[in-house]
Structure 1
């Protein structure tokens, strides 16, 4: 008997030997997923296929068969029941009458029955058929019926057939497919999997024109997460047969696993071109709805599919997963039972449910589902790999390693499990720094200078965040400090909705170090504490709600916990969206995160969500947030959660928010009355030429709208409906007007608090006379009062005060500017310098520590931080910065000497300290 431990050792040795290849493969997969569409927008039919169809020596029926083989048939080619059945099967028209006819090939009829979930009928139909294709379908049917031993006998016979060693493409394909199916019901060696891949390769050499060969090879590869090789095989399939439903579906599934929803939609569209009621298109659309947080739509799609095909196993399994995402365990249990009645012993439904729950951070429930899938089909590696990644996201490293090892032993060719093992092995070598509530992991080396700064700051942050939400997560949170964007991208592979330099899975937060350099490698400078406040808020609110918090709200609360005030640019964006009717309603805001329609949608959703939280707390008190989160934990939907928390429905909440937001924008000085545009209209109204130009501009807009609407004739209503809303029409491009200084002065007499006029006069004044004299001061004060969210007056005052030597006044304005800054340490460093001159060492150190967080690898900043710490008597903090300097500048011997001297001072200080009672 083969020693399984030795088998695993051998497999891991192969993984280690091909480490560079493995990482390159995974990175290629990540790059492919992010930079290249998985689903082709159009397919060019292979010239070889065209040539084969047009060979002059073909007889009419041979040409018909060739056109069907390459997906180029027309109705005229379907002149027999057999040809009709084959074409119907290819496009999944599974209820076509030809597929019930005894004149159709038995294998085609059985395959249609099996795809419809009628496994018993398929198996019975194939009794007596000894063709390899019949045997493969029968074995598959028996596996669905839970008769794995019977299936195993058939598959082993096919795999070990004597003619496999010949260059017989059909026998080679059958043997490779048999191995692939055996992998779910018995353990296979690396040699077994390698042989299957080799057999597909030999089959391709023997029959280059058969689209089924690259299709089956591609499916084997992508099912083992080998996308760089599997995707080209599927594209080759489409070039040989653009009507290959299984190839389109496989690419759509890959897109969904990469959270590439546009490509998945494209695959669905292509399937519907083949068959308007394509079952595989429904499966893609339902899974896409599920992954984009719309389980109700997913259920509706599946209801329609199951009304037509009530036994389709993939649809029944997905339906159980949808119940899980709707946070309805009893419904999920019921749907799992319904699946079991039809497919006893199958792990598919539990595996599908487990993956969905893992993606939604329902770790305990997801673990139970995946463990049941493993119990049912212990040799199927996919649920084990999924469980391993669940443990990784949950911060359960030892269980992750053990589970991924088991998955790799079952299928050494599965790159995802192998890569997960490599990643966990790599992380296990990293240094760990513990604090009461956090475990910080960092790669040994230069990045340690960032991690060493964190413990005290994180513990202070912990108090702020947990107090705000009245909740403390169980156990420590792991912070992984990652060296660059490439490693970060690999670390979060398989996690949805990641768009920044950090990500939280709940118990684990991955953070990229702030560093300048190649933008492909680093994201630049940023205040890592602000980022971690945001991400740790996710950890707390996910824990508090059992991971059932709506996407918009978890982001809104995370933004609200950042100490940086709302920027002027954000205020302007919100004001524009409010004025143009483009703020998101409660039922629409989540789509801005998962399916943004414009580049502004996602930043607007972040900002608006935080704004709505501000309104919620201002009207109903700070404790309204924990109360609302409790309702989400109970599984209530948006409207009911608001109703039970604050006594209004979601729609009523939003209406109240809009009214409040309107007043907010006025207070910001971003909705002045009259607006500068209205004042400009008074100039246009007095000038005949400008009047004519304005009318022409209005007509041009109407003409453009009419042309656009004309193009929408025949399109679904929702395509054109938004343009019918006047608030969404493009603005009239009115002729420009010259606003003279006299006009500004005249208008200011009438409207002395109009912020646009004050800004215009102020900027013109400072352009002519840069010094901040009495007139400029009056204008600055007036503008700052009229538009308090614009930092421009602070910048002008700070520059003027510094030039005049008024440090105290400058510090007030620099502090306001520094609050808004999290990517540039300049303000913080200047404040530290000024506070030091005023002997305010506590404030100076607070500022320099912020500068250090933003640019932790800058030696001069570390030098300054160490100096201030020594002056303030904090020798331990000074030592931390000096130790960082020694790592940043290893060639500077003076750092070692200074560290030694500082250690002597620390030792002397401890001797002088009184003994503890």
Structure 2
């Protein structure tokens, strides 16, 4: 039907021209775009009352009345205008909004039915570009196929008139609604050329870029509000972002600005309900929700918005409850249905969650997020499940065979240690999904490809994580990542998901370091500079550091600073004070109130923590000179050389000097310089840092013991230094130090279990020190890594099994070796020995 209607209407586009717009209509429209709604309304009302024959005047008047919350007046204007302009679909769509917000639900039903009858009975009467776009919007509202709407309505209007702005706006709105942000962004680039002053263009651009480029998105939002400081969608977006960052005063300010324009605006009251919920003021939350529904009593967007915002705060149970309310108002309100699906999936209620997600994907094929999730669900169903002790792990079958048991052992330990430490009893199963493809991780976690930089995410009872296979040549320590995420499980459970991001992340990073000092974030020269500069965020504002950080380094620093706050709180007030703070959060107390109650005033905490952080920074490389005031440009070699020699204790001079010496192959001199940096205590385990350079220099000068000591220092400071670990394995092999080979084989697997190096180290070492069970485990993993000589592995596995008196399995393995290499003499001998039942 859509295509026939569109073709019929389009046949008349070339014969029906656009109505000429008077100069004063342009002036009034410009006032409206600038947010001067009273002035625009006054001009429009005068023209309508004067009987000016141009439907754009009543349309503009209705738009002014709607944006200002004058819904009853908007209905009156609409009903009067329809007597004169009965063929205007654009007017009819505005009338739907007027009826809705005026609470006239019966009229809404009749108006929808009338629009459909008109389109079906006489499409040729609705030939203008405005009406064609309005028809597309009507069918989009009905949930018709979005791709057909784009093709048969919006695209054709743009083809017929490339300068018609509304077709671009409607296209972008539909694409954003369906998650097709690339189409939206491309469309808006063209729209920006047509009407750069229209705040809708910049606002929609901010939506299109939100998930892929937060900096660009923020710039577009500010541009929109600079064009119209009273633009309600932009102000609502500013309030949402402020709530995300826990900048509640900013949020209240933006909402107040909205209510000054429209005291009835449902989105503003919905956000006030969210704020009341975040502050534990649940009676006020109910009052704010009632205010949001005061004019349109069954508006599903109200509960959908409240629930969506609560889910962004990881309060998925409360969010799901609101989505169910929205669905009670309108069972076909897809945004609520799909949000409910996502909430349930993150709560671990997967049977219902996947059913709802699949339903949305089938009913709305253009919904990119729903399609992505539905496709991924089919893939995850083929994953291996490992279940034990209330933990369910899902992994790609090959990876599960290689290190799935190790994952389970780590998570069981994390559950035991962390639940006891924080007095938490986990009632429901915890689901952990590990993805070998980063794209799949992102889709499961965020709904869309992207999310680069995230290693794992915890929603409470569901953890998603990237496997080492998804991370390229330099994977992170997966054990550290999963310990971090399981700590989130514990603290989110304890607080009923009512904790700010900085506190949640800070505890998780702190607990990483407690489990292994090489895990988690630690002090570095860069962090030292940031802490002693002006980039240390007050504790009371720490969540804002996670929202739109200017660089990835600033985001990393936010994790580190948050963990330092936890370290400070426990050191000065004890673990029990932290546990009491988490209990208060569970009861609904806001974070600053909970901290005040348990550790003192938030102002004092800001001040004392700043002093603590400053001292931590000063203690790092405390004997070094960190000044860079007189440092010349690197391009001035002579000045640089003079500066280096005149600053023998300066960290930056020593770094530059060592790099010059290594480049000139002056290894003895470089060794001395790097040892000075080490002795100053200004070292980390980072790649390319002084310790790594020093180890390489020792290797070149043949000082194995010094190299070994330096490599161990690196691995003590870095959890994922694969090169250092591999070199230590090599040195230990040469020295027949098999216990060290075994230990660093395990360290290697904690970072990269998907290549042979670590497994082979464990096999060789365990054979030498008579640990046949470790041999069997490592060889079982190696079988899944496409070994070059499978017969040799099967033979070695058979020997280990025989030592464990598992003779039947030993016989199976040796026969497998003989099947691969029939003339394998050692395997023949072992088979005879097994058959004879006589241990060697």
**TM-score by structure 1 length?**
0.73
Q: Does 1:595 align with 2:548?
A: yes
Matches within 5 A, 1:556-705: 556-562=506-512, 563-565=516-518, 570-597=523-550, 600-646=553-599, 648-670=600-622, 675=625
Contact 2:524-2:684 at 8 Å conserved across structures: no
Query: Deviations 1:148-188 (Å, cap 9, x if unpaired)?
Result: 422332232244242259865455334322222333xxxx5
Shift of 1:289: 1.6
1:386 alignment partner, one of 308, 324, 339: 339
Whole-Å Cα distance in 2 between the matches of residues 566 and 757 of structure 1? Answer: 29
SS of 2:523 mapped into structure 1? helix
Query: Deviations 1:80-103 (Å, cap 9, x if unpaired)?
Result: xx5544444444432222243324
Whole-Å Cα distance in 1 between the matches of residues 244 and 38 of structure 2? Answer: 29
Whole-Å Cα distance in 2 between the matches of residues 667 and 566 of structure 1? Answer: 20
1:453 alignment partner, one of 401, 406, 409: 406
Deviates more, 1:821-830 or 1:120-129: 821-830
Q: Does 1:150 align with 2:110?
A: yes
Corresponding position of 2:486: 536
Classify 1:799/1:564 alpha carbon distance in 2 versus 1 (closer, same or farther; 3 Å): farther
Matches within 5 A, 1:45-444: 62=20, 65=22, 77-78=23-24, 82-96=25-39, 97-101=42-46, 102-103=49-50, 105-128=57-80, 129=82, 130=86, 131-144=88-101, 145=103, 146-147=105-106, 148-164=108-124, 169-183=129-143, 190=145, 194=148, 197-256=151-210, 258=211, 260-444=213-397
Shift of 1:342: 1.4
1:487 alignment partner, one of 432, 440, 453: 440
Contact 1:886-1:895 at 8 Å conserved across structures: no
Whole-Å Cα distance in 1 between the matches of residues 96 and 656 of structure 2? Answer: 80
Shift of 1:840: 7.6
Contact 1:253-1:284 at 8 Å conserved across structures: no
Shift of 1:356: 0.8
Classify 1:872/1:474 alpha carbon distance in 2 versus 1 (closer, same or farther; 3 Å): farther
SS of 2:271 mapped into structure 1? helix
Corresponding position of 2:754: 857
Shift of 1:498: 6.9
Shift of 1:295: 2.9
Classify 1:474/1:251 alpha carbon distance in 2 versus 1 (closer, same or farther; 3 Å): farther
Query: Deviations 1:669-691 (Å, cap 9, x if unpaired)?
Result: 4266xx5869xx9xxxxxxxxxx
Deviates more, 1:362-371 or 1:144-153: 144-153
Contact 1:325-1:356 at 8 Å conserved across structures: no
Contact 1:110-1:137 at 8 Å conserved across structures: yes
Classify 1:404/1:895 alpha carbon distance in 2 versus 1 (closer, same or farther; 3 Å): farther
SS of 1:887 mapped into structure 2? coil
SS of 1:509 mapped into structure 2? strand
Shift of 1:326: 4.2
Whole-Å Cα distance in 2 between the matches of residues 765 and 139 of structure 1? Answer: 76
Whole-Å Cα distance in 2 between the matches of residues 418 and 740 of structure 1? Answer: 59
Whole-Å Cα distance in 2 between the matches of residues 760 and 625 of structure 1? Answer: 44
SS of 1:341 mapped into structure 2? coil
Contact 2:521-2:559 at 8 Å conserved across structures: no
Corresponding position of 1:787: 681
Shift of 1:581: 4.7
Classify 1:158/1:505 alpha carbon distance in 2 versus 1 (closer, same or farther; 3 Å): farther
Query: Deviations 1:292-316 (Å, cap 9, x if unpaired)?
Result: 3323311221112202311223333
Whole-Å Cα distance in 2 between the matches of residues 336 and 405 of structure 1? Answer: 30
Corresponding position of 1:709: none
Corresponding position of 1:898: 795
SS of 2:293 mapped into structure 1? helix
Contact 1:798-1:814 at 8 Å conserved across structures: no
Classify 1:771/1:757 alpha carbon distance in 2 versus 1 (closer, same or farther; 3 Å): closer
Contact 1:286-1:302 at 8 Å conserved across structures: yes
Classify 1:540/1:180 alpha carbon distance in 2 versus 1 (closer, same or farther; 3 Å): same
Structure 1: gaps spanning 5 or more residues: 1-57, 66-76, 682-693, 699-733, 748-753, 913-917
Contact 1:175-1:196 at 8 Å conserved across structures: no
Whole-Å Cα distance in 2 between the matches of residues 367 and 760 of structure 1? Answer: 56
Classify 1:623/1:180 alpha carbon distance in 2 versus 1 (closer, same or farther; 3 Å): same
Whole-Å Cα distance in 2 between the matches of residues 162 and 761 of structure 1? Answer: 83
Query: Deviations 1:361-399 (Å, cap 9, x if unpaired)?
Result: 101100000111111111121111111122222332212
Whole-Å Cα distance in 2 between the matches of residues 171 and 743 of structure 1? Answer: 75
Query: Deviations 1:221-250 (Å, cap 9, x if unpaired)?
Result: 322223333333333333333343433333
Contact 2:274-2:309 at 8 Å conserved across structures: yes
Classify 1:770/1:396 alpha carbon distance in 2 versus 1 (closer, same or farther; 3 Å): same
Whole-Å Cα distance in 2 between the matches of residues 758 and 890 of structure 1? Answer: 46
Contact 1:268-1:281 at 8 Å conserved across structures: yes
SS of 1:511 mapped into structure 2? strand
Contact 2:236-2:255 at 8 Å conserved across structures: yes
Whole-Å Cα distance in 1 between the matches of residues 111 and 435 of structure 2? Answer: 47
SS of 1:429 mapped into structure 2? coil
2:712 alignment partner, one of 789, 805, 815: 815
Shift of 1:510: 2.2
Classify 1:843/1:476 alpha carbon distance in 2 versus 1 (closer, same or farther; 3 Å): farther
Whole-Å Cα distance in 2 between the matches of residues 835 and 893 of structure 1? Answer: 26
Shift of 1:459: 1.9
Shift of 1:401: 1.1
Classify 1:903/1:94 alpha carbon distance in 2 versus 1 (closer, same or farther; 3 Å): farther
Corresponding position of 1:525: 475
Whole-Å Cα distance in 2 between the matches of residues 663 and 406 of structure 1? Answer: 56
Contact 1:158-1:174 at 8 Å conserved across structures: no
Query: Deviations 1:286-343 (Å, cap 9, x if unpaired)?
Result: 2222233323311221112202311223333333334344444332211111112211
Classify 1:437/1:99 alpha carbon distance in 2 versus 1 (closer, same or farther; 3 Å): same
Classify 1:582/1:412 alpha carbon distance in 2 versus 1 (closer, same or farther; 3 Å): closer
Deviates more, 1:757-766 or 1:614-623: 757-766
Whole-Å Cα distance in 2 between the matches of residues 313 and 370 of structure 1? Answer: 16
Contact 1:180-1:196 at 8 Å conserved across structures: no
SS of 1:867 mapped into structure 2? helix
SS of 2:446 mapped into structure 1? coil
Contact 1:289-1:298 at 8 Å conserved across structures: yes
Classify 1:651/1:887 alpha carbon distance in 2 versus 1 (closer, same or farther; 3 Å): same
Query: Deviations 1:462-490 (Å, cap 9, x if unpaired)?
Result: 33333443334432332222113333333
Deviates more, 1:598-607 or 1:387-396: 598-607
Whole-Å Cα distance in 1 between the matches of residues 655 and 196 of structure 2? Answer: 61
Whole-Å Cα distance in 1 between the matches of residues 745 and 325 of structure 2? Answer: 54
Whole-Å Cα distance in 2 between the matches of residues 795 and 568 of structure 1? Answer: 21
Contact 2:315-2:497 at 8 Å conserved across structures: yes
Number of residue pairs matched by the alignment: 761
Shift of 1:899: 7.4
Shift of 1:878: 2.9
SS of 2:37 mapped into structure 1? coil
Shift of 1:900: 6.7
Contact 1:832-1:847 at 8 Å conserved across structures: yes
